[in-house]
Structure 1
Amino acid sequence: MNICVLHIILLLWVALISAVDRATAGCSFPQHTSENRKIEAKIQPLLGKRFRAEDVNKEYVYKIGICTDALDKTEFHDMENNKNIGVYQFKYTDGNLDPKDGHVVGRYNNTSMTQGTGWILLEYRDGEKYHTHCTQETRRARIMIICDEDVDVGSERINIFEENTNKTGECYYLFEMASSAACRTKPAVTFGLSLGSILVIVFVSVVFLYLLLGIAYQRFVLGAKGMEQLPNYSFWQDFGNLQSDGCNLVCRSGGSPQKPTFKGLGDDQLQEEDDRDDHLLPM
């Protein structure tokens, strides 16, 4: 019984340590921090995970960590400068891994990330220097994460794709991994109504209630018949004329009546003169 309890406590402790390591996992980006942080958040399910890859000739074994230490404490031994190792290369010696015969390929405290359609490229820099080739520059590792919706998070495998050292500069180790974490998040399909649709529904409902209640009031309370049952019938009857009058007032400009430039006799005076001439007519 005590042994079972001890095993349970040990498992819980290991799970807690793994959760803490994963929660604190993260890369450092000396350049373009904001964009790289967005990509890092996209592959959040992969952060803190460790992978193992072998080359085709089974001469080297690579330990890879996604924004975390690739090696655990038991593999450090007397290694100098063992911090922030993202990718480490072991060499087989007599069928066994020799930690003393290996190289730091890249460190995750100097990382860059780029993305495209269906892929994310994670690059570790500041590895150990080459001895004879690539102008003795520092090693770097590139991890290509390709979108594959059929590969669930947690079941990924990583492979060494290429060791590009046949160059005079910018040599790199290229790794490839398929994961659904690199796929674009599909937008959730919603079937809600837009604001315009809601306004149209409200308007139609208000008009319907206005007509229904208005006709009922006109018919059963006021006793109206025929077209007079429509609410505010006289207003709607003159509605077109009111619109026309408003248009004439706002949109049309009529000419002002011209005032006479010569002030002569008025019509009332002419009328009086005509009246004074009436006695001259023959009787």
Structure 2
Amino acid sequence: MKVSYRPHTVPVLIWTLAAALVLCGVGVIATENTKSCKLFSESDSERKVLSRLEPLTKKNFTVETKIGEESYTYVFQLCGDAGGIQGAGIIQIEGKEKANKKTIIGMYNATQAIGGSDWVMLIYRNGEKYDGHCSKERRKAIVMISCNSKVEMGQLEVVLEDRDRLQECFYLFELDSSAVCPVVKPQLSTGSIVLIIGFCLLAVYLIGGFLYQRLIVGAKGMEQFPNYAFWVEVGNLAADGCDFVCRSRNREERPDNRGVATESMEEDQEERDDHLLPM
């Protein structure tokens, strides 16, 4: 059997394959963004949690805060160099001048990712050591990313800096994003399912009946419509049914028989009175 190809289908196939390759390439590039984060302890579960944060990569989130007379600016970047400092996930800038002191709070080459159904807790470890707090241990930053379906990328907020302890001090930040929201699968109600089935059956009835009337019966014009004679009389049948159910007049006495019934009653009365006449 010889198969023939149409010439115009070849460019279509080429463009389809090219588009598929481009989309695949974009997907590969996109997944590389979170791979620059080095997990503190490599695991597939944490890597999967990180992949949920893909839309937030390559973005700088900045927030300013004041503690007394001191002003601090925090810069956060997911799996990227915050403030242009290599390896820094979150930095703290003291004061408003660019030349002021910059402190690395956490490194993205020591990342932890813990996730729930609608939240992700990102932890950056191995920041610069405290000068006199927390036994001079290294700083640690925790970013709590919560689901907010109305916001693609919210504003970074500083919750607290807990340094009044001997160990395990941390900076806590909050961020809202739709990236961590669970995927909601559309669900059809029972009524919707019934309507869809009804429309499908109606389409099958109309199309199948039309083809049958045209191809098998050989009907033309409006007669190609399936059960055309029945549907033409639907209005009259509905009117008769409504008249039968809703009207209150006596259905046993028909108007066209009233005259006949009266005459027959008069004749019967005359016959019954004949025996009263004197003989």
**TM-score, structure 1 normalization:** 0.52
| Cα pair distance change 1:23/1:116, threshold 3 Å | closer
Q: After TM superposition, give the deviation of residue 56 of structure 1 in Å.
A: 3.7
For each residue in 1:34-62, what CA deviation from the matched residue of structure 2 results, as whole angstroms up to 9, or x when unmatched? 11111111111112211101124461101
CA distance in 2, matches of 1:28, 1:149: 28
Match of 1:61 among 55, 68, 73: 73
For each residue in 1:177-220, what CA deviation from the matched residue of structure 2 results, as whole angstroms up to 9, or x when unmatched? 011111111134479x9xxxxxxxxxxxxxxxxxxxxxxxxxxx
Deviating runs (4+, > 6 A) in structure 1?
A: none
For each residue in 1:216-259, what CA deviation from the matched residue of structure 2 results, as whole angstroms up to 9, or x when unmatched? xxxxxxxxxxxxxxxxxxxxxxxxxxxxxxxxxxxxxxxxxxxx
- Please list, as runs of the form range in 1=range in 2, the aligned pairs for 1:219-234 lying within 5 A after superposition: none
| Cα pair distance change 1:158/1:22, threshold 3 Å | farther
CA distance in 2, matches of 1:22, 1:59: 37
| Contact 2:112/2:123, CA 8 A, preserved across alignment | yes
SS of the aligned residue for 1:83 comes to coil
Question: 1:131 maps to which residue?
Answer: 131
SS of the aligned residue for 2:75 comes to strand
CA distance in 1, matches of 2:56, 2:154: 9
Q: After TM superposition, give the deviation of residue 27 of structure 1 in Å.
A: 1.1
Match of 2:49 among 26, 31, 39: 39
CA distance in 2, matches of 1:117, 1:65: 23
RMSD: 2.5
Q: After TM superposition, give the deviation of residue 71 of structure 1 in Å.
A: 1.7
Aligned-pair identity in percent equals 30
Question: 1:114 maps to which residue?
Answer: 114
Question: 1:279 maps to which residue?
Answer: none
Q: After TM superposition, give the deviation of residue 24 of structure 1 in Å.
A: 3.8
Moved more, 39-48 or 130-139: 39-48
SS of the aligned residue for 1:90 comes to strand
| Cα pair distance change 1:112/1:161, threshold 3 Å | same
| Contact 2:30/2:54, CA 8 A, preserved across alignment | no
Moved more, 140-149 or 55-64: 55-64
CA distance in 1, matches of 2:109, 2:168: 19
SS of the aligned residue for 2:138 comes to coil
- Please list, as runs of the form range in 1=range in 2, the aligned pairs for 1:193-204 lying within 5 A after superposition: none
Question: 1:88 maps to which residue?
Answer: 91
CA distance in 2, matches of 1:141, 1:21: 25
Question: 1:169 maps to which residue?
Answer: 167
Q: After TM superposition, give the deviation of residue 83 of structure 1 in Å.
A: 2.6
Moved more, 123-132 or 111-120: 111-120
- The letter of the residue matching 2:82 is A
Question: 1:185 maps to which residue?
Answer: 183
- The letter of the residue matching 1:89 is Q
| Contact 2:33/2:57, CA 8 A, preserved across alignment | no
5+ residue gaps, structure 2, are 1-28, 194-279
Q: After TM superposition, give the deviation of residue 149 of structure 1 in Å.
A: 1.0
5+ residue gaps, structure 1, are 1-19, 73-81, 194-283
- Structure possessing the higher radius of gyration over alpha carbons: 1
Q: After TM superposition, give the deviation of residue 22 of structure 1 in Å.
A: 9.1
| Contact 2:111/2:124, CA 8 A, preserved across alignment | yes
> Is 1:70 matched up with 2:82?
yes
- The letter of the residue matching 2:97 is N
Question: 2:61 maps to which residue?
Answer: 51
| Contact 1:123/1:143, CA 8 A, preserved across alignment | yes
| Contact 1:53/1:63, CA 8 A, preserved across alignment | yes
More helix by share: 2
| Cα pair distance change 1:150/1:24, threshold 3 Å | closer
